[in-house]
Chains A and B, each alone.
Chain A
Amino acid sequence: MTSIVPAHIKPFQASPLARAGWLVLIVYLAWAMSSLDFNYARFITGLDNGAKFISRMFPPDFARWELLVKGLTESLQMAFIASFLGVLISLPLGLLAARNLMPAVVSWPVRIIVIACRSFHPVIVAIICVKAVGFGALAGIIALTVASVGFVGKLFTEAIEEISMKQIEAVRATGASFMNVVIFGVVPQVMFRFIGFSAYETDANLRNSTMVGIVGAGGIGGTLFAAFQRFDYDYVFAIVLAIIALIMVGEVLQLWVKKVFKQ
């Protein structure tokens, strides 16, 4: 049988550049793994430690449930306020950063603000806030708000940039003011996506609000970290179970909100 393709050309062969890329990636990963200092002896000791750790976690100790409830309540409060503030600040920022509605002079500075908010993990922002406004829920609220602006602001901007300009033109043709263009041209097109993003962000804030306490910014995280450092692993386990339950409830609520507002 004669083939149409000459024998030395393999039809499914990757390009030389792609193959070189693969090689570099594999060599890098191998080197990175070797730098982690992972060996068999350490693995065996680790398994031993893990068994001890897990045996000390059982049964979970709910005796100090009052402290647990207090921490969880504070986490919830922080998540609600931060999500509300974050969405409130993101609405104008998202509009100002949209390149299809704003001149570059306005959109670029706003985009940089949003990128700066997104580039640091909430826990790192929380460290700075704890220095600025002291220990407690306020630092956590500010940190989570900054993180929310970074994330929701970006999503809002992208949603506004994807809208159909036909409706904007139609509203502009009637001689509408800028606010009217926004209210009747932009908002109806992005409303439902905004609600979805806000629900998602509330869920994300709920997760993070249980963690910023590790650096002293309020919520259940502080209790958790303290219990961990005292080796109260059974109490740690109780807190972790409570956090997981809270997060799962949050995820169910988020999906429900999205379902209700889906047209």
Chain B
Amino acid sequence: MSAAVPSPHTGPGAPPPTRPRSADEVRVWQRFTLAERLARFSIYFTIVFAVAWAVQSVEIIVEFIWDAHVQIADMGRRMWPIAWGHYPKGVHEALIETLNIAAVSTLLGVLMAVPVGFLAAHNATPYRFVNYCAKFILVSTRSVNTLLWALFFVAVFGPGALAGTLAIAFHSIGFIGKLFSEAVEDTHRGSIEALTAAGASKLALIQYGYWPQVKPTFWAIALFRWDINVRESAVLGLVGAGGLGMALDTAINLFQWDRVALILAVIFAVVIIAEVVVTEVRKRII
């Protein structure tokens, strides 16, 4: 106990306390409360426990690891030289399709997400129940992975770019809608109250009150999502939803690794270009 240790406050040289107190009362300054420390400790403990459990129970076939460098060398040899000659007739069309899927799906995603985003923002739509319904739409569309949406739309509309476009568009709703509703909730009330006082209709309120304030964020979100969608649309073909992924899938199934290398190089180039475009456009308009 602290009673055994003479503390500076109770020791012989200490100034007399304003109120007599026992040694037990000496308080040690602590940054966090007991509850906070317990919560943190339980998180640390859970992390260590989860990783330890995962490492010791995951099924890994160790023999495959010893063989890995041979396999990688083999893959490298088959990939080189890259089949650049295949680009004009086998890859170019798929590349254009991928870019189209990314652009159109971003447009559709924005068109569907903006109304839902407005309904989810509690200041634009002051009805609790509507807010919750809209938030549920946002969370649920985001929880279903793009590849799952793609499987669904391939079953509905058949294989092709249409399924891929709808898949990315539906998955984008959650992402765009969430960020957009947060932007709407961050708007200042001044101009909106002024418009309300002037008797503006709901539509005029959105057009002149909210829109000018959320416009920069809106463009940032749309651009960011387009960048993500370019990456995603390159994968969707693996489940038959069009674009570069379809060419990739064919090449892998036929073990044409030089063509796989070509497609990977194309994807890499497109992703880098998309990132540069987004950075440049952001600088200009925001």
Contacts and interface: CB of A to CB of B under 8 A. Distances in A.
Interface stretch (A32-40, A95-103, A181-189): A32-40
A214 B144 contact: no
B9 interface: no
A144 interface: no
Interface string B104-130: 100100000000000000000000000
Interface stretch (B15-23, B54-62, B192-200): B54-62
A138 B64 contact: yes
Given A35-B161, A133-B68, A137-B60, A124 B51 contact: no
Interface string A220-261: 000011001000000010001001100110010000010011
Name the prevailing secondary structure of the A interface residues.
helix
Given A36-B100, A50-B156, A124-B264, A80 B50 contact: yes
A42 interface: yes
A49 B51 contact: no
Interface in B125-173: 139-140, 143-145, 147-148, 151-152, 155-158, 160-162, 165
Interface residues of B, number: 60
A260 B39 CA distance: 7
A136 B39 contact: no
A158 B59 CA distance: 36
Interface string B50-85: 110111011111001101100110010000000000
Nearest to B40: A260
Nearest to B50: A80
B179 interface: no
A125 to B, nearest CB: 10
Given A53-B155, A120-B264, A132-B75, A77 B57 contact: yes
A108 B144 CA distance: 36
Nearest to A79: B54
A128 interface: yes
A29 B107 contact: yes
Contact of A136 (B59, B156, B158): B59
B139 A260 contact: no
Contacts of B211: none
Interface in A1-52: 28-29, 32-33, 35-38, 42, 46, 49-50
Contact of A124 (B50, B156, B248): B248
Given A136-B59, A136-B61, A248-B139, A261 B161 contact: no
Given A36-B165, A53-B155, A123 B235 contact: yes
CB-based closest 5 A-B pairs: A32-B100, A77-B54, A134-B64, A80-B54, A77-B58
Given A77-B54, A132-B71, A133-B68, 12 more contacts: A29-B107, A42-B162, A49-B158, A80-B54, A84-B47, A123-B147, A123-B238, A132-B75, A133-B71, A134-B67, A214-B238, A236-B151
Interface of B: 36, 39-40, 43, 47, 50-51, 53-55, 57-61, 64-65, 67-68, 71-72, 75, 96-97, 99-101, 103-104, 107, 139-140, 143-145, 147-148, 151-152, 155-158, 160-162, 165, 231-232, 234-235, 238-239, 248, 252, 264, 267-268, 271-272
25 contacts: A28-B103, A29-B104, A32-B104, A50-B156, A77-B53, A78-B58, A81-B55, A81-B58, A115-B272, A119-B267, A121-B234, A121-B235, A123-B147, A123-B238, A132-B72, A133-B64, A133-B65, A133-B71, A207-B145, A214-B238, A224-B148, A225-B151, A244-B144, A248-B139, A248-B143
